[in-house]
Amino acid sequence: MVRSYLPEGAITIWPSEMLNSRRLPHEDFQKTPEAMKLEDETHWVPQILGNEEEAIRKSILKLKSHGASAIDINMGCPVKKALRHNYGVALMGDSKYAAQVVRMAKGASELPVSVKLRVGPQKNLDELLDFLWNLESAGADWLTFHPRTTEQKRRGNADWGQIEKVGANLKIPLIGNGDIQTVEDVFALLEQTKVSMAMIGRAATARPWIFWQVGERLGFPPPSGRTGKAPSTAIEEGEEYGRFLESCFKIMLERFNENYAIRKFHFLVRTGAPWLSFGQDLFSKVTQAKTPEDILKNLQTFFSVPQPMLRKTELRQ
């Protein structure tokens, strides 16, 4: 669905959900929703959690055969499950071992390898840069940096100043991430930090046409199958959000079993609804519905009246 808003001729990187390298070698990718990919979905960069060489090697070779364009190592996930297994941001506590994980991934195939990370436990810029230089020396092709600490999780504001400082001290490309909610935020981050690219996360669950909005500013034509201008006013964006949710749910029902589709749709609405003035009411109506037909009916009823979309919201919601 997000790809359907990408301007004609534009290219970007598409990460997957987090994939556990211990389980990947034994999974059927045609039945594993997190690794499911359509034939025409290019520039797919699956994101793996892992710290064991054989599991990483087998996972990467399998992902390569499934159409991966590059491999992303997650060193930024702060959830307890990842920390317990020394995945995610836990790797930032051991600079040498984190670099070794990058070498493991680089040695598995010729695919580019990137690392997604956050500030982690480093107490100062020198320690953080030393950690990043180790990743660079180990062969990382680019980094994606989220400037919040592990303790912050999603709270507080992302410190773009840290992105700027990190980018100025790396030889490889840096992608900046954090607090991008609008098209203005995209260009503000690029201008302030001078990094190579900007990454949008949760706001894309509410405003996926932000890619269309960015494309308009860069002179790209509209997305294939779409005409005119991207939604821009609060009412236009609210209307488009309703169409997006309905279309997305129908695709989920086609691809997944019913229970999984409903569960994932609940998560999608819970993540994106805070950008609506009455988003909590929408989430309540969706979760109270017992069948897919009832969910679609409640969606249509809710969006039958104008539902203005907020420009900004508290991302931690």
Between 185 and 78, where is the model more confident? 185
Shared-domain flag, residues 233 and 107 = no
Q: How does strand 71-75 pair with strand 113-118?
A: parallel
Q: What is the CATH number of the domain that holds 187?
A: 3.20.20.70
Last residue in a domain, options 144, 169, 199 = 199
Q: How many domains does the chain have?
A: 2
Among candidate residues 77, 204, 252, 262, the one labeled active-site is 77
Written as six digits, the tokens of 261 are 């589709």
Shared-domain flag, residues 153 and 59 = yes
Shared-domain flag, residues 259 and 138 = no
Give residue-wise pLDDT tens across range 101-128. 999 999 999 999 999 998 755 557 888 8
Shared-domain flag, residues 184 and 240 = no
Shared-domain flag, residues 182 and 218 = no
Cα separation of the two ends of the chain = 23
Q: Could you give the CA distance from residue 14 to residue 283 in angstroms, rounded to a whole number? A: 27
Cα 20 to Cα 34, 207, 208, distances in angstroms: 10, 28, 26
Asked about 248 being catalytic, the answer comes back as no
pLDDT score at 284? 97
Last residue in a domain, options 199, 232, 247 = 199
Shared-domain flag, residues 293 and 228 = yes
- Give the domain extent around 315: 206-317
Give residue-wise pLDDT tens across range 14-46. 999 889 999 999 999 888 888 888 888 899 999
Its pTM stands at: 0.90
Side chain identity, residue 231: P
